[in-house]
Amino acid sequence: MSEMKSPALQYRFDGPEDAPVLVLGPSLGTTWHMWDRQVPELMKHWKVFRFDLPGHGGAPAHPAASVADLADRLLTTLDSLGVQRFGYAGCALGGAVGTELALRHPERIASLALIAASPRFGTADEFRQRGVIVRTNGLDPIARTSPERWFTSGFAAAQPAITEWAVQMVRTTDPGCYIAACEALASFDVRPELGRVGVPTLVLVGSDDQVTGPAEARTLVAGIPDARLAVVPGASHLVPVEQPAAVTDLLVRHFTSAWLPAIDATSGQMAIVAPPVKPVLAAGSPVAPVAEIAAAEQPEALGRPDPYDAGIKVRREVLGDAHVDRALAQADEFSGDFQELITRYAWGEIWDRPGLDRRSRSCVTLTALVAGGHLDELAFHTRAALRNGLTPAEIKEVLLQAAVYCGIPAANSAFKVAQQVIREETTPQE
């Protein structure tokens, strides 16, 4: 069976056909128009390639499962156009795509600019919570609050047309693709790998960015061997829109100095090449703690991998980092083995099995907890069900079904617990 290629992205080119290609990547909730003010100057030097994220700007709504998936789709699109090597500038989620490309496909990237970016965007819980809100309320609450996340208050007040453009841009995004992008950011964390980014990198950030601000930018600069920092005063998160001239000037200077012209020895023609990628040893990955168990009892002794690592990953994705961190922090010599047991077997062996998807497993789990009267567990598994894609209406149907088979008193208690959790999780944050 042939492997399916990643779907191509919606794109446009601006600039001379024979110029080197500079790719511009958008942030979550925006379209390629966020770069409109940069293109006239950039296209004097490069053939500018802009793309839309899935479901953004009228692009086909094929949700991407991860930042790596988005990077693969971008490469599929560029491959179809015969573009092999290119410069890349990306904002926020677009910056994550650029970092992913520099790590996984360094031979394709000549030079890199990361704008309003981070090696990890907030916490996984925050982005999964945003996905729950969108799934329950649609994109309108996110759209209405986007200007305060993206712009300084002075800019938003002085530029009502741009502010309304931002709101409408988010409002017209496909909700399923937006939720998938939130999941992609929730699982994105390249902090241990920054030392392997071997291309010249400009890290650019607005001085007033409250989303991914100067602290995150300095983390990138400290981790990437060949990186320099530029802080744009008077700008927030969507700095290319708020301070277009400053961003344009910084990009031109970076890509003309870190992406040098040279003579191709084989053809004698002028080519655009970057300094060679420096070999850097990969940073070690953290090792999960394990209790002392006799070698004969370890899963490896049975000829299969230990499910602990898979279990802790699934447990965090379903229940949230905050919940899992709290449970592990409270474990001591008495309860530590129990925490390891449920991580390894409940989450690594059962929740990670392919036979049911996570939505179905949440339905089964909620029903079992109602039947057993386990209301504390019902609360955090109601949160998990929302994160796994169940809507409040679907959770209600599960509890109604449970009322028939588990009893009215049990379901009555379950409805009270679930109702409170759903209110907390689906109420948009002002």
Per-residue pLDDT tens over the stretch 21-59: 999 999 999 999 999 999 999 999 999 999 999 999 999
Model pLDDT for residues 177-221, shown as the tens digit of each residue: 999 999 999 999 999 999 999 999 999 999 999 999 999 999 999
Task: Match 């290119």 to its residue by tokens.
Answer: 86
CB atoms within 10 A of CB 337: 12
pLDDT of residue 303: 54
What is the SS3 assignment for 25? Answer: strand
CB atoms within 10 A of CB 264: 11
Q: What residue ranges define each of the domains in the chain, with the CATH number in brackets?
A: 11-259 (3.40.50.1820), 354-426 (1.20.1290.10)
Comparing 408 with 265, the larger pLDDT belongs to 408
Give the integer Cα–Cα distance in Å for 39 and 133.
Answer: 35
Work out the average pLDDT over 16-22: 95
Model pLDDT for residues 50-107, shown as the tens digit of each residue: 999 999 999 999 999 999 999 999 999 999 999 999 999 999 999 999 999 999 999 9
Return the H-helix or E-strand segment holding 272.
strand 270-273
What's the whole-model pTM score? 0.76
Mean pLDDT (the chain, rounded)? 88
Phi, psi at 295, each rounded to 5° = -55, -35
